[in-house]
Each structure stands twice: as structure tokens, then as C-alpha cells.
Structure 1
Amino acid sequence: MLKFLNKIIFDPNDFRSVIAACIAGNSQAQHILFKKYFGYAKSICLRYTYSPEEAEEVLNEGFFKVFNNLERYDPAQPFKAWLRTVMVNNAISYFRRNKKHYTARTAFDEIPEPGVADDVVSDMTAGEIMQLIHELKPIYKTVFLLYAVDGYCHKEIAAMLEINEATVRSQYARARAQLQETIAARYPDLAGQYAMLSL
């Protein structure tokens, strides 16, 4: 990257050059980076929100944080992994800020866990599971995504959501149980396969 007459010159095909130009505040480089990772980042935001409008808000705020903290990115690490962390953390911050709004949507903490085979969820495709995950109570959905999709441990989730670890474990179990119950209702053939195998 070179500076010529106060204008930053970078190679759009050289990722490190684009990153350096973004850090220097070059709007063209920022547009290139945004366009390249827009779809990936938006898919993360859509997972953790309940409407396209919410996802857009989380996405825009997330990219704002990306560009403001890009100097912290370690070029030796995959950029998508770093971007995912920023987007997930921003989605969680958004969830915490709007927790009261989400809590008002549903109130079924005391739902008993159904006795559907644990492996039912394991046999679903990612797309099918994601459709069902969006129907979960917001806190269950968030915990399930953090643990089962994004790979955070219960302790990390507890810290992120500012709740205790036992609550996280309970909410994950309930999320999984509700998914299994829904699958049993909507996909009886699939649930029946596991019932036969357990005999």
C-alpha cells in the first residue's frame, strides 16, 4: 500500500493490502471488504435475530465495530473466524439490550422436557434445524446457537449472556428438547425410526 498525494493506493486483489487500507480509513477498501463478507456476516446476524430489520441493524453495527477494531485483527488468523466472533458478540450485545422485549414474546420456561430420542436432532439437515431453531423462545435459541452452531462452551455462554452456567445448561437442554418435540410432531417418520431403533 502506498500513499500518493494523501490518497491511499492499494491492491484490491491483495487481502492484506485491503485490510491495511481499511485501517487507514480508505472508504473504497472498506466497501470491498464489506461486499466480500456481507453475505457471510448477514447469515450470522439472521441466525441470532427475529426479523430482517433486526438482522440489518446487527449487521450494520457489527461492521462498524469491525472497521473500528480492524487493527486488532491478527493477519496470521483466518479473517472469517475473527469476523464471526465480532458479529456473534454484537448479536449477543443486541440480545442483552433487548432482553425485555424478547422475554415478552413467550413464557414457557416450565415446559417439561419431552421423552423424544436424543439423536433425532442429530439426523436433521442444517437447513431444517435452522428453520425450527427460529421458533424457539429467544433465550433458548441464543443458547442453542452459541453452543451447537458456533461452538462456545457453557462457561463462555454464561459469561456472554451474564447468567450462571447451570442456567445455560438447563436452557440448552430445554432448547434441544423443544426441537425434538417439534421434530416428532412434524416429522413422525423420522422420530419413528429412532423409536424402532431403541426397542
Structure 2
Amino acid sequence: MNYTDEELISGCKRRSVKHEEVFYKKYYGYVMGISLSYSKDRDLALEITNDAFLKFFGTIKKVENFQTIKAWLRRITVNTAIDYYRRNKKFQNQSDFEIDIPNQYEVNAISNLGYEDIIRLINQLQEDQKLVFNLYEIEGFSHKEIADRLGITEGSSRVYLTRAKVKLRQLVQTHLNEYEGR
């Protein structure tokens, strides 16, 4: 049976196992996609996904507007990924210094890269750099928000982001060189 989001939320508020199961199946791909963007490991992404759903179902009674479900699921999933990294990853504070970005890597390569290529390149970043890159560039968090959430300094957040961008430029250049060599 096809349920509307409103019916699913109403059922989940009543703790209907059937409604929770249908909701999980309906939004699994969406939540897993977000989780994968914060994890290099599929098992870890699944753990983040399942934890996010548990948190969602635990707070479902607070949902007043079923039309904001995807935004709320996204926020819960991102926060779950952040919580995981805070618990399991020791961030080393980086000094506040700037990294010179060589001009040779300034390439307008987006038109030559497919979605899968971009994700593959981002997944090659170190986990701390990938996390900060996603939070800043994808989610729109400020360096202050990232620092507060991860327990690092704003300077460290900036350094992680800068290093991620430098590494991505190098990876894009390498990818393009390989592509042209085919």
C-alpha cells in the first residue's frame, strides 16, 4: 500500500511498526546517500543511516509539518555523522596558517567530470578533510559552526577545508591527465 508522508508520520507517531518499516524503506536511499557522503566505508554509512532513523523515530512526536520531513531527516543524518566522528575520530588542531594554492591547479574541470567521478574524488580525501569539506561546501555550515560541532578551532576548520580543496585540485588534474591520455 502506498502511504502519503502525512499518513506515514501519523502512523510512526503511534509507533506502528508497519508505518515505520514503510517510512524506512521509502527514505532509506535518501538517508544512505547522505551518510555515504560522510563516510568512505559502506558499513559505516549503514551504521550512520540506522542511527539516524532511530533518532528520527525517537523524536517523531515533535514533527508538526510533514512537508519538512526530508530537511529534518537530512539534519538528523548530518548530525549523526558529526556525532560519529566526534566520538571516534580525534581531530588534531591545525595551526592557523595559509596554504599557497598553485595556479597550475586552477582548472575548470567540472564540465569534464561526471557525478560519480566527483564523488570518487571527494572520497579520496582524508576523513577529517572530507567531513569539513562536506559541512562547509555542501551543507553550508560556517567555520564557527563546524568548529563548535567538531570541537576544533575555526582555524583548524579553515585549514582542513583549504587542504581538501588543494587535494581535490590535484586529484582533478590527475583525473584529467589520465582522461586525456586515453
- TM-score, normalised by the number of residues in structure 1: 0.77
Shift of 1:189: 8.2
Q: Distance in 2 between matches of 1:49 and 1:189?
A: 26
Aligned with residue 172 of structure 1, among 145, 161, 182: 161
Distance of 2:179 and 2:23 partners within structure 1: 42
How far off its partner does 1:183 sit? 1.3
- 1:12, distance to aligned residue in structure 2 (A): 5.1
Q: Deviations over 1:149-196 (max 9, x none)?
A: 2222222211211111121111101100101011112213899xxxxx
Higher relative contact order (CA 8 A, sep 6+): 2
Distance 1:143 1:65, change over 3 A: same
Gaps of 5+ in 1: 1-10, 104-109, 192-199
5+ unaligned residues in a row in structure 2: which ranges?
Answer: none
1:69 alignment partner in structure 2: 59
Provide the C-alpha distance between the structure 2 equivalents of 1:188 and 1:125, rounded to a whole number of angstroms.
15
Percent identity, aligned pairs only?
31
What's the offset of the Cα at 1:33?
0.7
Which residue number corresponds to residue 126 of structure 1? 115
Structure 2 Cα separation of the partners of residues 114 and 185 of structure 1: 16
Corresponding residue pairs, total: 173
Q: Secondary structure at the match of 2:119?
A: helix
For 2:138, the aligned partner's letter is: V
Query: Within 2, Cα distance between the matches of 1:126 and 1:168?
Result: 26
Aligned to 2:80, the other structure's residue is in SS state: helix
> Could you state the TM-score of these two structures normalised by the residue count of structure 2?
0.83
Alignment of 1:36-185 (within 5 A): 36-75=26-65, 77-100=67-90, 114-115=101-102, 116-118=104-106, 120=108, 122-123=110-111, 124-185=113-174
